[in-house]
A and B are shown apart, each in its own frame.
Chain A
Amino acid sequence: MSSSAWLIRGVRPYGEDAVDLLLRDGAIAEIGTRLQADDAEVLDAGGLIALPGLVDLHTHLREPGREDAETVQTGSRAAALGGYTAVHAMANTDPVADTAGVVEQVWRLGREAGLVDVAPVGAVTVGLAGAHLAELGAMADSPARVRVFSDDGFCVADPALMRRALEYVKAFDGVIAQHAEEPRLTQGAQMHEGELSARLGLAGWPSVAEEAIIARDVLLAAHVGSRLHVCHVSTRGSVDIVGRAKADGVAVTCEVTPHHLLLTDECVTGYDPLFKVNPPLRTAEDVEALRTGLANGTIDAIATDHAPHAMEDKECEWAMARPGMLGLEQALSVAVEAMIETGLLDWRELADRMSVRPARIGQLDGHGQPIEVGRPANLVLLDPDVRRVVNGADLASRARNTPYAQRELPARVVATFLRGRPTVLDAKAQL
């Protein structure tokens, strides 16, 4: 770790009163006004807001296997530029992260890149095939210390297998993160099933295919007394089910993506596969319910589902395109537009949904900590007052499949600190 100290002048933690922050030895050493530290580098942060470094529960880094779309290095840079200090790398790589060897490899690549803490997610089943449990304990015991397990991309559809997975990970306090999609209800599905899919002639992905699995899984989690995390909830009904389960005391958490907070199925009208994603973009009514659910805490976290894809997998016919969109670099801006500018969340609450709770769900000690003396200096500094038009060519990701191209979004990450060391300064990555 870098031993150099940083003095951040005039920054507003959580958008509150301006203070100086002194970062030293990886921690927040002092908070006050007119701090002095002759050995420290000074960053004038007037007008900027400081939040705890963001934590993503759902990132596809594509390495190993699809290094043409993203690598741990390029994805880490995108994450840092987006204000993240930790990301969970999803297991659907090639080979699949279903052994201690693969999760350890991804973890080491993350350490070498050094821009964010990369926490590998382990597959629930061997090869994501939904048939046999992967060696979850070995992954938990590896240096990668895996605590989140997911077959994301696929649903653990077999209820007996899901039950066993929920039970088994209790031994090391793991959590199953379910990609909720009843496969028999979504065969060949291309977009949200509704008025628009009927008009566009695209096979529908009905809301009930997500809700049925969530309903089943909260019942299973309650029955066996396990912790359940639901990936990327996208429908009003899903929010209702999770809300009721929480009220009943079930240990369930869930996440929503930035794109589901902003975009609707109307985006599909031109058949541009940049807007193809799984679960699909839903209706304005769903967007409203997701924002409300995030505001009242039913939804715990914003998670990007950052999914880089090579150009040829997007510049093609809708049905042949791969689902998924970039998210890391724009997530905070989208959150500001959807939640801050609408008055649904204040900055402290946004930090809760983008840092505190995701770190807790993923059990990442050292992340999601409050901005207080003695805490790890994992921070993002953002300018809330700028608005920028997104340009795909400017992105740090190797892929270009952003759904926000040419869209004007508020706020910009100016600096990111990982344990007191800047990974982003002046909106530029430091490696």
Chain B
Amino acid sequence: MKRHLLSAADLDLGDATLILDTTTQIDAALAGREVKKLPTLRGRTVVNLFFEDSTRTRISFELAAKRLSADVINFAAKGSSVSKGESLKDTALTLEAMGADAIVCRHSASGAPHRLAEWVQGSVINAGDGTHEHPTQALLDAYTIRRRLGRLDGVRVTIVGDVLHSRVARSNVVLLDTLGAQVTLVAPPTLLPVGVGSWPVEVSYDLDAVLAKADVVMMLRVQQERMNASYFPSVREYSRRYGLDARRMALLPEDAIVMHPGPMNRGMEIAAEVADSVRSTIVEQVSNGLSVRMAVLYLLLGGDSK
């Protein structure tokens, strides 16, 4: 494994499989235990450095670190414009001086964790950077698929929605390809990046046409503001063409699952009855996220103290 987890591309098949297998072991070790805590990272310090509000991701990492007995510091850089206050580099040097073993970084700017990694000794974990990547989300998605379907190799995954602005989609495309899954992207052409042609995916503009061949449908969050920049004409038209409702869900093969990274826009990209159906893994994804992040912290920090 590399020292940092900045992109899903940092993981080869061996690394990714190791993380997923370690997650399985952690789940097994904690199953049925009253005190869900392992002593593995006692004495190590994990910093949650969040330049962008994301309560669910921060809590997931915080809990993961605490369950491994690490000391956790939450460093919320308030306000959207970092340039007004302390620079990213100064923050990095401060955390370095505090002896951070791992820095979990969430930032609205693509590549910010890459910059951070140049200035610190500890491991940097990308917890979502701009419209770039969110590798632990892809890992928890892969773990969820493997648990539900028993495998990843050859699994057909359809990712639907705002691929252009989605870090979840980017990390999933890379990781699923590494793991041998077949990815199809479905979106209005406005929400696919120029250059998608070089990605290891199939592309379709027609959701109905691909659902019958999907083992997994992953719905992406679509921000309504995109409408104002003419990415699509209206919420209703988007929902009609690219939303997953009960009729569309019925087109899926029998065992297919429906995923969403959250938070959902119910009634826009996903209908309530789909989100709450037995096919939906949305709640599981949250709990799997915790276990996967434990595995990542454990493997990056090596377990033994300095």
Contacts and interface: CB of A to CB of B under 8 A. Distances in A.
A317 B193 contact: no
Which one of B89, B109, B194, B198 has the highest number of Cβ atoms from chain A below 10 Å of its Cβ?
B109
A205 to B, nearest CB: 11
Contacts of B108: 319
Given A200-B111, A319-B109, A206 B130 contact: no
A237 to B, nearest CB: 15
A206 to B, nearest CB: 7
A193 B167 contact: no
B88 A206 contact: no
A312 interface: yes
Contacts of B195: 193-199
Main secondary structure of the interface of B (DSSP, over half): mixed
Nearest to A312: B87
Contact of B88 (A196, A202, A203, A317): A317
A320 interface: yes
A198 B195 CA distance: 6
Contact of B110 (A195, A200, A312): A200
A317 B196 contact: no
B82 A318 contact: no
A318 B196 contact: no
A318 B194 contact: no
A193 B131 contact: no
B87 A198 contact: no
B110 A198 contact: no
Contact of A320 (B109, B131, B133, B193): B109
Interface in A309-365: 312, 315-320
Contact of B109 (A197, A206, A312, A317): A317
B44 interface: no
Contacts of B112: 271, 317-318
A120 interface: no
Interface of A: 190, 193-204, 206, 270-272, 312, 315-320
Interface of B: 82-83, 87-89, 107-112, 114-115, 129-133, 167, 170, 193-199
22 contacts: A193-B194, A193-B195, A194-B194, A194-B195, A195-B197, A198-B195, A200-B132, A201-B170, A202-B110, A202-B130, A202-B132, A206-B194, A271-B110, A312-B87, A315-B87, A316-B82, A316-B88, A316-B89, A317-B107, A317-B112, A320-B82, A320-B109
Given A198-B193, A271-B111, 15 more contacts: A197-B193, A198-B194, A201-B111, A201-B129, A201-B170, A202-B111, A202-B131, A206-B194, A271-B110, A271-B112, A315-B89, A316-B115, A317-B112, A320-B82, A320-B109
